[in-house]
Each structure stands twice: as structure tokens, then as C-alpha cells.
């Protein structure tokens, strides 16, 4: 697969606007970093964004999240690794990421209320929306993740 275009080079103001959301989520929202990693990684898996999955796996490792926690994310429903709070966030992440199919049902929203304030739920939802923007841009433009030195071509 070959990259179609470098959106940052051709539309830097648009990327700057998305970065404003990203900066808010990661630095100013008050959301726990582990939850932000959870959202970014799961949405990126759903959206098939190799660029973002690669980036967010590396970031999650850097922030001390376990290999098991990272590796089982795609099958979170079958694993006891995730807490009830994390499961609520994962369910909401999936519902919002697939909103055209799910309609963001009450069954995905209601569990959040046991763990989060309305303001925190709003911030979680904006975090989900932000990674979905990045995923759609990266997949559409076929952005390529870097190969690690240990990666061997087939």
C-alpha cells in the first residue's frame, strides 16, 4: 500500500485544528492516561488504522501498560483483564466508533454513569470522536507507520 498524500503538508491548518482537540484530550481533559490509551487503541483497531494502532501500542507500553492488557484489547469481552470501568469505556468506544450501526444505545451509555460524571462522559465521547477523526484521515490517505529496525520484510 502506498501513501496517497501527506495531509499535514497540504492542509496544515486543518491538522492544527485536530491537534487542538488532541492536546485538550491528552493534557487538559483530566481523563486518566490509561483510559485515553484504551479509547485510542480500541477505536483504531475497529477502524483498521495500522498507523494509529502502531503508535498507540507503543505509547501504551511507554506509559507502563502491560503487554497482556494491550494484546487482549481486541478480545476484551472474553478476557478478565479489564475492570468494570474499563469495560464501560470500551463498550461506549465501540458504540460511538460504530455509531452509524449502533445509534449509541442506552445499553452502552448507562454503565458509564456508575463511574463518571456527565462532564467526564462528555470528555470521553470527545476523546472517542477525536481518535476517529485521526483514524479516518490516516486510513483515507493510507498513512504508513514506520517499520521498526527488528521488522523483517516478507
Residue 118 lies in a domain: yes
The per-residue pLDDT for range 44-94, each reduced to its tens digit, is 999 999 999 999 999 999 999 999 999 999 999 999 999 999 999 999 999
**H helix runs in the chain, sequence order:** 7-10, 12-23, 33-46, 50-62, 67-71, 84-97, 99-102, 106-109, 118-140
Residue 131 lies in a domain: yes
Alpha carbon distance 58, 87 (integer Å)? 22
The per-residue pLDDT for range 27-51, each reduced to its tens digit, is 999 999 999 999 999 999 999 999 9
Residue 103 lies in a domain: yes
Residue 15's CATH number: 1.20.1290.10
Q: Determine contact, residues 43/95, Cβ cutoff 8 Å.
A: no
- Whole domain around residue 59: which residue ranges? 11-140
Residue 110 lies in a domain: yes
What does the block give as the cell for 33? 492516561
Residue 152 lies in a domain: no
Alpha carbon distance 70, 86 (integer Å)? 13
Largest CA distance in the chain: 49
Residue 78 lies in a domain: yes
Residue 54 lies in a domain: yes
Instruction: Calculate the CA 124 to chain-centre distance.
Output: 11
The per-residue pLDDT for range 98-130, each reduced to its tens digit, is 999 999 999 999 999 999 999 999 999 999 999
Domain count across the chain: 1
pLDDT of amino acid 3 = 81
Amino acid at each position: 500500500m502506498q501513501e496517497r498524500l501527506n495531509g499535514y503538508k497540504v492542509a496544515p491548518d486543518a491538522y492544527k485544528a485536530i491537534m487542538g482537540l488532541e492536546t485538550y484530550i491528552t493534557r487538559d481533559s483530566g481523563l486518566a492516561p490509561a483510559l485515553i490509551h484504551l479509547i485510542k487503541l480500541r477505536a483504531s483497531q475497529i477502524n483498521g488504522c495500522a498507523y494509529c494502532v502502531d503508535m498507540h501500542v507503543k505509547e501504551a507500553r511507554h506509559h507502563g501498560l502491560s503487554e497482556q492488557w494491550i494484546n487482549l484489547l481486541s478480545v476484551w469481552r472474553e478476557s478478565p483483564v479489564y475492570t468494570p470501568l474499563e469495560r464501560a469505556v470500551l463498550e461506549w468506544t465501540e458504540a460511538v466508533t460504530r455509531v452509524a450501526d449502533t445509534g449509541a444505545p442506552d445499553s452502552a451509555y448507562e454503565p458509564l454513569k456508575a463511574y463518571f460524571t456527565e462532564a467526564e462522559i462528555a470528555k470521553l465521547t470527545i476523546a472517542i470522536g477525536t481518535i476517529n477523526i485521526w483514524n479516518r484521515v490516516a486510513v483515507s490517505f493510507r498513512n504508513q507507520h514506520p517499520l521498526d529496525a527488528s521488522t523483517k520484510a516478507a
